[in-house]
Amino acid sequence: MVQKYQSPVRIYKYPFELVMAAYEKRFPTCPQIPVFLGSEVLRESRSPDGAVHVVERSCRLRVEAPRLLRKIAGVEHVVFVQRNVLNWRERTLLIEARNETFASRVVVNESCSYTVHPENEEWTCFEQCASLDIRSFFGFENALEKIAMKQYTANVKRGKEVIEHYLNELISQGTSHIPRWTPAPVREEDARSQAGPRDPGSLEADRSGSAPGPAPETVLTDENKLDADYIERYLGHLTPVQESCLIQLRHWLQETHKGKIPKDEHILRFLRARDFHLDKAREMLGQSLSWRKQHQVDLLLQTWQAPALLEEFYAGGWHYQDRDGRPLYILRLGHMDTKGLMKAVGEEALLKHVLSVNEEGQKRCEGNTKQFGRPISSWTCLVDLEGLNMRHLWRPGVKALLRMIEVVEDNYPETLGRLLIVRAPRVFPVLWTLVRAGARGQAPAQWR
């Protein structure tokens, strides 16, 4: 199975030229990246005006794998070929890398780019995508796949730290500004001599800044891209693998659902519910989106008006937030006549009301995220069971409760940050057993 990685957009708040100077200090060796043993230049060329600089390097990386696997493979390091196309005119650096060691058994492709920030020309953006396809490796395909992805993602964020290290080093040495490239003045006779036929390859290099090569497997437009700072601010700390899963799932949604797609925090909940297993999260989210479209859940808060009896006798509502900033919902279940409510308004009305509560909860989480300046993606539910007795164990009522739990689990995963139960009577263990069974054995650890 092909493993893919897609990074968010990482931003250096420095000009492109200064970032390039820091990038060049990584070669031929880089003590800050221990697995990088060294490199040598294979080929190098420049365009006549000096705007385009192409460098092809051979890079050696130490293999961090169990001794048995290294012995079977017969290597202590692997060789990658890296091709850099630096275009000073366009202020871009395109990097393509592929493995040379075991190329017939393992295919690794990586594409990176440094570009000018679209909204601030004094900042530089970095993006990275990679794919790993292990075709055959002495029966150790699964083990090698895990080791390779673990080693790769461990070095992803270290790359940004290395660039920042060299940026600080340059600034400490007094280099805080590097002038932009400008074309050299051309004399009239030189211009006439250059007006003749030119090599097609150099024309192509001048136009695009790179020679023809394989296109990256994942091409993201501006609206697809997620900023690493945005993720940290609004979604919380994610590992490189988790960031990649979020971006890939978001990209899949934009390709398959041409209309409105869920918000990033909503997509992230489904990934967390499936432990960031991309295929499982995609299946779960796809089913949920179909359900939302079928029942027009996106319009629920605008169209749903609870019946008067439900407004009067449903003992639950939102009450500010808990000490962690989560929206707080209080439900006085023991004071509700569940049998009477079900007979008066029906099970479907109760279900719609529960769905509206969940929709409102997501909306409040977004508001609290902005208010408190940190990611808040779940809420707290405080259930007061004072007054709970055997009449609440009415079979149709329990059945309806279990159905509601199932619908909420399937379509609002990872939204209940904490469930607090207070003043539980003796009959509570019976109801608790039924609820846990209805939760498919997945009652979260936050339930208290």
d(CA 309, CA 346): 11
The pLDDT score that the predictor gives to residue 411 is 96
Give the rounded distance of the alpha carbon of 146 from its chain centre. 19
How confident is residue 394, by pLDDT bands cut at 50, 70 and 90? confident
For the record, the structure tokens of 294 come out as 């079928």
User: How many Å apart are CA 35 and CA 26, to the nearest integer?
Assistant: 13
What pLDDT, on a 0 to 100 scale, did the predictor assign at position 438? 57
Closest CA to 382 of 317, 289, 298, 306: 317
pLDDT of residue 160: 83
**What span, in angstroms and rounded, lies between the C-alpha atoms of 236 and 253?**
21
Query: What's residue 188's pLDDT?
Result: 55
Percentage of the chain beyond pLDDT 90 is 59
What residues contact 235, with CB distance under 8 A and at least 6 apart?
246, 264, 265, 268, 375, 377
Helix (H) and strand (E) counts in the chain: 15, 12
Is the overall model pTM greater than 0.85, yes or no? no
Q: Where are the alpha helices (DSSP H) in 257-346?
A: 264-273, 278-295, 300-303, 308-313, 338-345
Q: Give ∠ CA 24-30-35 in degrees, rounded to 5.
A: 130
- For the chain, the 3-state helix, strand and coil shares in percent, each to the nearest 5, are 45, 20, 35
Contact residues for 448 (Cβ-Cβ < 8 A; gap 6+): 418, 419, 420, 421
Mean pLDDT in the chain? Answer: 85
Set out the domains of the chain in order of their start, with CATH numbers.
Answer: 3-177 (3.30.530.20), 238-295 (1.10.8.20), 300-438 (3.40.525.10)
Burial class (CB in 10 A: 0-12, 13-18, 19+), 306: middle
Q: Does pLDDT of 211 surpass 70? A: no
Backbone angles phi, psi at 331, to 5 degrees: -125, 115
HSE of 55, CA atoms in CB hemisphere, 13 A: 15
**Rg from Cα positions in the chain:** 29
Residue 73: the pLDDT is: 66
CB neighbour class for 98 (10 Å; exposed up to 12, middle 13-18, buried from 19): middle
| The two structure tokens encoding residue 52 | 């385009």
pLDDT by residue (tens digit) across 24-39?
Answer: 999 999 988 888 999 9
Does the pLDDT value for residue 265 go beyond 60?
A: yes
Dig out the tokens for 425 from the structure.
Answer: 């009577």
- For residues 354 and 408, what is the distance between their CA atoms, to the nearest angstrom? 9
Q: In sequence order, what are the beta bridge partners of 113?
A: 94, 127
Looking at the DSSP bridge assignments, the partners of residue 61 are: 36, 78
Task: Report whether 288 contacts 270 (CB < 8 A).
Answer: yes
Least confidently predicted of 13-17, 188-192, 354-358: 188-192
